[in-house]
A and B are shown apart, each in its own frame.
Chain A
Amino acid sequence: MHKTKVEKMMKRSEILLAGKRKPIILQILNNDRGGKIVLSILALVVFYVAFSNLLLPKDSLFYVSTYTVTLLGKYLAFALLALALDLVWGYIGILSLGHGAFFSLGGYAMGMYLMRQIGDRGVYGNPELPDFMVFMNLKELPWFWYGFDNPIFTMLMIVLVPGLLAFIFGYLAFRSRVTGVYLSIITQAMTYALMLAFFRNDMGFGGNNGLTDFKDILGFDLSADTTRISLLIVSFLALFVGYLIARFIINSRLGRVCIAIRDAESRTRFIGYKVEQYKLFIFVVSAAMAGVAGALYVPQVGIINPNVFSPLFSIELVIWVAIGGRGTLYGAIVGAFIVNYASTYFTSALPEVWLYALGGLFVVVTLFLPKGVVGLLSKLNFKKSKGEVTNVPA
């Protein structure tokens, strides 16, 4: 019943938007200068990278290595994750420290599919059981691994498993009006508990080694350049579609209510809105998006293990959003790229410095850059794009 209400609202805004008679994508991106710029730059970069990796000779000055392709793909997956977090944090005020969990669940679903694709090419050559199960003396495939040899089923699970967890968790938390820091802490405890569980060998997910040694995806060799490029493009498209969905939600009346909830929850409730349902809807959508990000991350990085559940990762991704600029969507993408590029650079060049730098980022951003890099840029330009939400209280 509640869902139909939300749907109705979305339809209404759709009609509203359709009235302007522009292509749907441009309608959604209307009044979103930053989003257009960021997405265009990303599109250019992705297509340049794809083109030069496949077509240019290796010794060319403009050749991009496969390593860079993979790295870019990973960043895109992270950007989608940051986008998902910005949707809940920036627009409805839920600081989720558990988005790493949704990301990981999507990743594990993909990992399970990739494991099943290995077939009898594993070290033990068992066509039915992944290597780690043979190693652990399991005789049969655990029930929750059934169906993961089917790509369609896997795709469903990538969205459904994180969505379901978010639904149950959000239902309980929002119903009892857990808000603010309490909610953050409880979401953190959720990832922490999941991490402990996934670290166990008897969980049936490979314990602390996680899932790895993938061979191919949908029949394509994972180590081939063409597959890598395809994954990169798919990641970009996923980010693009994710951005459109998020933007669409924000532009709709639903999104306006969300912002009202973020800025004055009690008032919105007193006006008569069912605050819990709005929160739950956004939370579930965001979790599903995070799940997709995880699923894209795994084949490109080649491993998924319980470390992704660690509270540190979940909090780190909050800083991506904070650095980019909370409540802007494209800012989250920018932040994800900046921090992850810095992370890649520092962890190889100056590994000791990285944690200092990351810690310092947390402090500096919260103290001096409350609106992130995006806010800083628009301040320098003395221009404020009209559609932006400028006042973002905690």
Chain B
Amino acid sequence: MKINILKIVFLNLFFLTSLFANFEQDIEKLKTNSLKDKQEVVVQLAETYSEDDRTNLLLTKMEEGDLYYLETTGEFVILEKKEGNTYYSKSLLTGKELEAQDKKIFEKVKTNNKLRSIINSKLAEMNLFSKKDEKRLASSKNILKNLDKDSQELITKALAKETNSDIKEVLTEANTILQAKYSTSTEEQLLAVVQLGDYLSNQTMIALKEIINNENNQPELIKAAKSSLGSVETIRSYYAVVEKAFFGLSLGSVLLLAAIGLAITFGVMKVINMAHGEMMMIGAYTTYTLQQIMPNLMEYSILIAIPCAFIVSGIVGIIIERLVIRYLYGRPLETLLATFGISLILQQLVRTIYSPLNQEVKTPSWMSGAWGINSALSLTYNRLYIIIFAVLVFIGILLVLNKTSLGLKVRAVTQNREMAQAMGIKTSFIDAMTFGIGSGIAGIAGVALSQLTNVGPNLGQAYIVDSFMVVVFGGVGNLWGTLIGAITLGEINKFIEPVAGAVLAKVLILVFIILFIQKRPRGLFPQKGRDAQD
């Protein structure tokens, strides 16, 4: 009995260890020199460990010729970098970086073309039948990208099993292309070609062009392919316009965020704040600083940075107003000079504190990546969020100006300063608050900008001219004018840019604005009333 129990325990232990060690043991067989044996191992690995990420890595690296094992320990490693005779590698099983070692102790797992094609198809198959949706989607997209005749069987098999509609669509597109190109029955080919008119990928276009250029094809097939290609191109150009419009909108949103504070301060106080760009810079640096202080909260740092940047920039703005600007009311040109001086000081201050180099602000994972709507159109999340954010800020300011008592007072001062003062409004308090809010919004704009460009001492300078253009174009002190001005300029910029280049686009916009103010010298929405002229 005792022996039996011991036997069972031992057997079980053996079984358990073998369960864990299996993958490690099985891959040992790859060290053989026989290519035929390696084929068997590969097939076996792909079937037994199809859900193991390590299999995927192993096969990919083996196909790329980067899989080695060490003569000394027998450990499987992946070659990362070569420097002369020194190899940098990491362990396949643990993923740990290994010390740099001489190339002599590395033994390559050799492959040949046949083995590579087997690995390729096994990899595709493995991923295509994975249990994870995203893996299957990525794999099917990959198949579509590198489509060849041999994939037909695999695609049909996968299509029969597939339940996810997104994946199904990609696979159907791939299948249709294969049918259009290689089907033996002309009828089936014709049908497939007609169906291809609904798809958008590059592959579809290439396939259709191939069919058109193949002289062996029947005229009616070519004709159908031509009409399908035409419809694909129409749809794609439509999406290209949508994408451009989206980019323009996101640029417009940035401009809106940058210009809105400027428009408010200019509207209320008739003050051109040349340090406005530096308020944006301060906002961006606040974001950077927060990320440095709280490295664990990277995902939320942007959200925390928004109120912080508002407060920091707002306070700096109020200080500037109290110390300098309030002595210069009614002298706009002097204010322009003084605020320019302040902007120089702030830039240098940032250089002294942080360094003159650009700093990198990290993008939280929920803001990176793109929203792929279809194969012809994908929108990046950071731009999408910035558009939403700009809209929210705009609505917020509208609410503050129109629904709060502070807003009421601000509007009163904007329309008639003396009258407002006579009615008991403390105009100097309103001025300080307005300047603070304007600067605070610039700070928020800086947070948004930190997601699009590098954060550096010159960040503000790059946007200040553009935001002035927006204000001049939209009309001073009018929020809707600023909104329309920003979006118009953003869109014009993005639509001219691909045709004329970025620089010429800027020049053309300037020319456009100069011509525009020939017609409407006070912008789109000029201020009305007795106070408006001079």
* Residues of chain A having any CB pair with chain B under 8 Å: 95, 169, 172-173, 175-178, 180-182, 184-186, 188-190, 192-193, 196-197, 199-200, 266, 311, 315, 318-319, 322, 352, 355-356, 358-363, 365-367, 370, 393-394
CB distance from A204 to the nearest CB of B (A): 14
10 interchain pairs, CB-CB under 8 A: A181-B332, A186-B472, A192-B506, A196-B503, A200-B503, A355-B345, A358-B344, A366-B328, A367-B327, A394-B330
The complex places the Cα of A293 from the Cα of B84 at a distance, in Å, of: 57
Query: Chain B 14-48, CB within 8 Å of chain A: the 1/0 string?
Result: 00000000000000000000000000000000000
The complex places the Cα of A365 from the Cα of B507 at a distance, in Å, of: 33
Contact of A370 among B334, B335, B503, B515 (CB under 8 A): B334
CB pair A366 B334 closer than 8 Å: yes
Chain A residues closer than 8 Å to B331, beta-carbon distance = 393-394
Known: A196-B507, A394-B331. A356 touches B338 (CB 8 A): no
CB pair B345 A359 closer than 8 Å: yes
CB pair A175 B518 closer than 8 Å: yes
CB pair B337 A318 closer than 8 Å: yes
Chain B residues closer than 8 Å to A189, beta-carbon distance = 465, 468-469, 510, 513
Q: Is residue B175 within 8 Å, beta carbon to beta carbon, of the partner chain?
A: no
CB pair B345 A360 closer than 8 Å: yes
Within 8 A of A (CB), among B243-273: 272
CB pair A184 B336 closer than 8 Å: yes
CB pair B518 A182 closer than 8 Å: no
Q: Is residue B352 within 8 Å, beta carbon to beta carbon, of the partner chain?
A: yes
CB distance from A229 to the nearest CB of B (A): 36
CB distance from A202 to the nearest CB of B (A): 9
CB pair B514 A394 closer than 8 Å: no
CB pair B510 A363 closer than 8 Å: no
Chain A residues closer than 8 Å to B83, beta-carbon distance = none
- Beyond known contacts A180-B332, A181-B332, A370-B334: 6 more, CB 8 A cutoff: A186-B513, A189-B510, A352-B352, A359-B348, A366-B335, A366-B338
**Chain A, residue nearest B461 (CB):** A311
In the A-B complex, the 3 residue pairs with the smallest Cβ-Cβ separation, listed nearest first, are A362-B341, A359-B344, A359-B345
The complex places the Cα of A189 from the Cα of B516 at a distance, in Å, of: 15
CB pair A197 B507 closer than 8 Å: yes
CB pair B472 A193 closer than 8 Å: no
CB distance from B5 to the nearest CB of A (A): 82
Chain B residues closer than 8 Å to A356, beta-carbon distance = 344-345, 348
CB pair A178 B517 closer than 8 Å: yes
CB distance from B406 to the nearest CB of A (A): 26
CB pair B334 A363 closer than 8 Å: no
Chain A residues closer than 8 Å to B513, beta-carbon distance = 186, 189
The complex places the Cα of A193 from the Cα of B514 at a distance, in Å, of: 13
CB pair B333 A367 closer than 8 Å: no
Chain B residues closer than 8 Å to A200, beta-carbon distance = 503
Chain A residues closer than 8 Å to B338, beta-carbon distance = 362-363, 366-367
Within 8 A of A (CB), among B326-377: 327-328, 330-338, 340-345, 347-348, 351-352
CB pair A363 B324 closer than 8 Å: yes
CB distance from A27 to the nearest CB of B (A): 33
Interface size on B, residues (CB 8 A): 41
The complex places the Cα of A318 from the Cα of B336 at a distance, in Å, of: 11
Q: Which of A180, A181, A361 has the largest count of B CB atoms less than 10 A from its CB?
A: A181
The complex places the Cα of A360 from the Cα of B480 at a distance, in Å, of: 36
Chain B residues closer than 8 Å to A322, beta-carbon distance = 337
Query: Chain B 464-483, CB within 8 Å of chain A: the 1/0 string?
Result: 01001100100000000000
CB pair A197 B341 closer than 8 Å: no
CB pair B503 A355 closer than 8 Å: no
Known: A196-B506, A200-B503, A266-B534. A366 touches B337 (CB 8 A): yes
**Chain A, residue nearest B469 (CB):** A189
Contact of A315 among B340, B472, B534 (CB under 8 A): B340
Contact of A367 among B328, B507, B534 (CB under 8 A): B328
Q: Is residue B396 within 8 Å, beta carbon to beta carbon, of the partner chain?
A: no
CB pair B514 A173 closer than 8 Å: yes
The complex places the Cα of A197 from the Cα of B343 at a distance, in Å, of: 25
Q: Is residue B95 within 8 Å, beta carbon to beta carbon, of the partner chain?
A: no
CB distance from A94 to the nearest CB of B (A): 10
Chain A residues closer than 8 Å to B347, beta-carbon distance = 355
The complex places the Cα of A175 from the Cα of B340 at a distance, in Å, of: 28
CB pair A176 B327 closer than 8 Å: no
Q: Is residue B230 within 8 Å, beta carbon to beta carbon, of the partner chain?
A: no
Q: Is residue B74 within 8 Å, beta carbon to beta carbon, of the partner chain?
A: no
**Chain B, residue nearest A364 (CB):** B341
The complex places the Cα of A370 from the Cα of B195 at a distance, in Å, of: 76
CB pair A95 B345 closer than 8 Å: no
CB distance from B500 to the nearest CB of A (A): 12
CB distance from B150 to the nearest CB of A (A): 46
CB pair B333 A184 closer than 8 Å: yes
Chain B residues closer than 8 Å to A177, beta-carbon distance = 521
Chain B residues closer than 8 Å to A199, beta-carbon distance = 503
**Chain A, residue nearest B275 (CB):** A359
The complex places the Cα of A352 from the Cα of B347 at a distance, in Å, of: 11
CB pair B344 A355 closer than 8 Å: yes
The complex places the Cα of A186 from the Cα of B517 at a distance, in Å, of: 11
Chain A residues closer than 8 Å to B345, beta-carbon distance = 355-356, 359-360, 363
Chain B residues closer than 8 Å to A190, beta-carbon distance = 510
Chain B residues closer than 8 Å to A173, beta-carbon distance = 514
CB pair A185 B507 closer than 8 Å: no
Chain B residues closer than 8 Å to A182, beta-carbon distance = 472, 517
The complex places the Cα of A178 from the Cα of B520 at a distance, in Å, of: 10
Chain A residues closer than 8 Å to B334, beta-carbon distance = 366, 370, 394
The complex places the Cα of A322 from the Cα of B351 at a distance, in Å, of: 27
The complex places the Cα of A199 from the Cα of B506 at a distance, in Å, of: 13
Chain B residues closer than 8 Å to A362, beta-carbon distance = 337-338, 340-342, 344
